[in-house]
Amino acid sequence: MFTKILIANRGEIACRVIKTARKMGIATVAVYSDADRDAVHVEMADEAVHIGPSPAAQSYLVSEKIIAACKATGAQAVHPGYGFLSERASFCEALEKEGIIFIGPKPKAIRAMGDKIESKKFANAAEVSTVPGWLGVIENADHAEKIAGEIGYPVMIKASAGGGGKGMRIAWSKAEVRDGFDRARSEAKSSFGDDRLFIEKFVVDPRHIEIQVLADAHGNAVYLGERECSIQRRNQKVVEEAPSAFLDAKTRKAMGEQSVALAKAVDYQSAGTVEFIVDSEKNFYFLEMNTRLQVEHPVTELVTGIDLVEQMIRVAAGEKLVIKQNAVTLNGWAVESRLYAEDPYRNFLPSIGRLTRYRPPEEGQFGDVVIRNDTGVTEGSEISMFYDPMVAKLCTWAPTRLAAVDAMSEALDSFVVDGIEHNIPFLAALMQHPRWREGRLSTGFIAEEYPEGFAPIVPNDAEKAVLAAIATAVELLRRDRLDRLGGRLAPHSGVLKRDWVVKISEDYLSVSILERMISIPMEIDLSVDGGKALTVASDWRPGDLIWRGTVGGRKIAAQIRPVPNGFRIAWKGMSVTARPMLPRIAKLERLMPEKVLPDTSKMLLCPMPGLVVSIAVAEGQAVKAGETLAVVEAMKMENVLRAERDLIVVKLNARPGDSLAVDAVIMEFA
C-alpha cells in the first residue's frame, strides 16, 4: 500500500479523497493555484505544492507541474479526482514513465472509453446497444446540417472530449444545428482544447441512468447498482439518487452485466461509470463510459456501504477486489443535491463572491436518516470565476425514497449560505414538486416544469399562516429581549399586545395571541385570520439563523434573516418578507406609496459576472427578436444573450474581452 499520494485536483473532490486516505493511514499532498492558496483542501492535506496561476490551463491542467510536485514530495501515486487531468491518457502515461502510479484505469481504457466517438465505435463492435448517430468527425456547420437531416431531428451535438454538459447542444431544426455547432465547438475548444464534435439522435423523454462498476488488475469486475441522474439543467446534473425508482430487477441486471462486459473488454482497472439513456419502455442505450470517479458517487456509497475512493486506491496498489457480485446489496435510498453558485431567479446564471456565511446542516446519523455533505469550502472561502461553480454536494439517506427526499428537504432548509447567489431555493422547491416526489422523471424535467425559468414560490393560504405564525413568534421574542436590555430611554411597560398584523407580500394577515409563554423555549397559541388555533413551539433565540420548531404540530426548519421592520423567511423554496406590526401601524402602512423600480427595458444587462466573448451587433443596427446580441463566458460556459423583441441598437457600452460585473450595461436600445 502507498504511504503518500498526491491529489491532482481541488475543491470538494480533493477534500473527499484526503478523508479516505487519512482513514487508510496514507499521507496526502495537495496542489493549488494562486486562487486556491487559502483553500480548504490545502489546509487538510499533509503537504501542499503551489503549481501556478489561477487559470486551470496554467495550473491544474499542466501535467508537468503535477509530476514535478510528486517528485518534490515523494508521492508514490496520484488520484486525479474528476475533471482536469482525470481522463487524459497522456497524463497517465507520463506518470508511468516516472514510476508514479495513476489511481485510475490504464491508458488503453482511457483512450477507448474517454473519447466519445471512439467509445461508441468500440461499444458497437462489442455489440453494446448504442444510440443511432454519426460517429465520424464533423468538418463544419454545413456538414453538421447534412448529417442531422439524415439522422432526423431532434439531434444532440456533442464534444468528443466533452463532459459536464460543456460542448453540448440539442438541435430541433437546421438553424439550431448551425448555431449549436458553432457554440459547442467554441466551448469544446476552450474547455478541453479539442474541438471535435459528433452528432447522435436525441431520445425524447429519456432518463439518464448510470451503472457504477469496479474492476481490478486480476480480471475481477462487479457492478454496484445504478444512479438516476435525470434531473439536469443544460445537460448538467443537478440532483441524483440511488437506486432508480424506474428500473426493475431484470433491467438493472441486464444493464449491470453489460457494463461489466464492457469494462472487461477494455481491461478496465478502477472505479468507472457506464452511462445509459433509458426510454419509457426501459430500452437502454450506451451513452458513454466515464473512466474516473463520478461527482455523484456518494449516493452509491450510501446505499452499498462501499467506499469507492478506498477501492480505487486498493486496486491501484495491485490488490484484488474482495467484493463479490452476489454480496452487493442496495440498502435504502440516497439523494444528492448539488449546491451551485448560481442565481436560480436569473436563469441559473453563475455567481461569484465570498461566502460571508457557510453553515451546512450537521452531518451524521439521526435516527433513520443519514446526512452527508461533501464540500471544499468553508465560511470565508471565495467562489472564483476560474473553476466550476459547485459549492457542495448535500446527500441524505433513509430507508425509503420519500423519507430520503423529506430528509433532503429539511437539510436544505437548514443549509445557510450568504455572500453569493445559490440554487438552494430551487433545490428546496424541487423536493416538494409532485412529479419529482412520484419519480416521474426525464432529462427534460427542469425545462418542462419550469419553461419560463424558476420563479419565487408563492405560498398558499396554509403556508402563509405558518409563515405569519413564525414571524409573530420571532417578533414577540425580539421585543421581549429589547425590554430586558438595560439603558433604554423608554422601556416597554404593560403586557404584550394580543392583536397583530403580519404583512406577507401584499397580504395583511391578522394574528391573535390566545395563550403565550414568552420565554426560551417558547410556546404560544395563536390564530391567523380567524382560523383554528395553532400551537407554535420553538427554542429559537434572537440571532439564530435557523428557526426550528413546530407550528400546529407540523415540524418546521426555516431560515430567518432580519430586514428593516421585519424578517426574511426562507422555507421549502419559498422566500418571503414578513413584517409583523400592530394593527394601528398596519393601517398607516397600507397608505404608504410603492417604490417603482427603474426602467431597464431598453438596456441589455450582463446577467452574471463574466467575460465578453463577442458582440454580434453594431450601433444603429435593427435586430429581430431571437437574434444574438452578445456572448458572455462565465465559469467555462458560453451564454448567448438574445433580443427579446425587435429593436434598434443605439449604443454599445462593452467590447469583446471586457470583464463585466452583474447588471453592467452591455448595450442600449431605442
What DSSP line would sit under 518-535, residue for residue?
A: -SSSEEEEEEETT---EE
Angle at 292 between CA 290 and CA 294, to 5 degrees: 80
Q: Which domain covers residue 361, as residue numbers? A: 332-455
User: Cα-atom radius of gyration of the chain, to the nearest Å?
Assistant: 27
Whether 275 is catalytic is no
Q: How many CB atoms lie within 10 A of CB 186?
A: 17
Tens digit of each residue's pLDDT (9 = 90 or more) over 437-477: 999 999 999 999 999 899 989 999 999 999 999 999 999 99
User: How many separate domains does the chain show?
Assistant: 6
Last residue of a domain, one of 179, 201, 223: 201
Location of C-alpha cell 427578436:
625
Decide which of 74 and 279 is more confident: 74
What percent of the chain clears pLDDT 70, i.e. is strictly above it? 98
**Whole-prediction pTM value?**
0.83
Please report the DSSP string for 299-326 in residue order.
HHHHHH---HHHHHHHHHTTPPP---GG
At which of 331, 348, 382 does a domain end? 331
- 348 falls within a domain: yes
DSSP string, 56-95: GGGTTT-HHHHHHHHHHHT--EEE--SSTTTT-HHHHHHH
Residues 168 and 279 in one domain: no
Burial 540-578 (b: 16+ CB within 10 A, else e): beeeeebbebebbeeebbbbbeeeeebbebbbbbbbbbb
Instruction: Provide the angle, in degrees to the nearest 10, between the axes of the packed helices 107-114 and 89-97.
Output: 170
Three cell numbers, residue 641: 444573450
- Co-location of 614 and 514 in the same domain: no
Chain Cα centroid distance, residue 608: 17
Do residues 193 and 340 both lie within one domain? Answer: no
**Is residue 206 domain-resident?**
no
- Residue (of 206, 211, 212, 227) closest to 282 by Cα position: 206
- Report the CATH number at residue 97: 3.40.50.20
For residue 172, the surrounding DSSP H or E stretch is none
Residue 663 phi/psi, 5° resolution?
70, 10
In this structure, the answer to whether residues 417 and 515 fall within a common structural domain is no
**Residue 264 covered by a domain:** yes
Residue 135 three-state SS? coil
Residues 472 and 432 both lie in one domain? no
The answer as to whether 316 is a domain residue is yes
- Which pLDDT belongs to residue 492? 58
Together in a domain, 115 and 243: yes
Supply the CATH number for residue 521's domain: 3.30.700.30
Q: Which of 560, 589, 618 is the last residue of a domain?
A: 589
User: Alpha helices, DSSP H only, in 204-307?
Assistant: 249-265, 297-304
> Is residue 489, in this structure, part of any structural domain at all?
no
Same domain, 449 and 505: no
Q: 213 with 145: CB under 8 angstroms?
A: no
Region of poorest pLDDT, from 132-136, 170-174, 542-546, 629-633 = 132-136
106-142: pLDDT as tens digits = 999 999 887 777 787 778 777 788 887 887 778 889 9
Q: How confident is the model at residue 485 (pLDDT cuts 50, 70, 90)?
A: confident
* Residue 597 located in a structural domain: no
Helices and strands of the chain, counted as H and E runs: 17, 40
Residue in the block written with cell 456572448: 631
> Is the separation of the CB atoms in 109 and 217 below 8 Å?
no
Same domain, 91 and 22: yes
CATH number of the domain within which 368 lies: 3.30.470.20
Segment 394-421 shows an average pLDDT of 97
- Please check whether residue 210 is in contact with residue 288, taking contact to mean a CB–CB distance below 8 angstroms: no
114 and 259 fall within a common domain: yes
The residue annotated as part of the active site, out of 288, 421, 475, 638, is: 288
pLDDT score recorded for residue 374: 98
Q: How many residues does the chain have?
A: 670
* pLDDT tens string 37-48: 999 999 999 999
Q: What CATH code is carried by the domain that includes residue 656? A: 2.40.50.100
Amino acid identity at 541? R
Confidence of residue 1 (pLDDT cuts 50, 70, 90): very high
Q: Say if residue 467 is in the same domain as residue 565.
A: yes
Does residue 490 lie in a domain region? no
Residue 406 falls inside a structural domain: yes
Question: Mean pLDDT score of the chain, rounded to an integer?
Answer: 92
383, 341 Cβ separation under 8 angstroms: yes
Which pLDDT score, from 0 to 100, does residue 171 have?
A: 93
Q: What pLDDT score does 494 carry?
A: 59
User: Are residues 557 and 505 part of one domain?
Assistant: yes
| The predicted structure's pLDDT at residue 538 | 96
Residue 34 pLDDT? 96
Pair (117, 246) in one structural domain:
yes
Whether 527 and 514 have beta carbons less than 8 Å apart is answered as yes
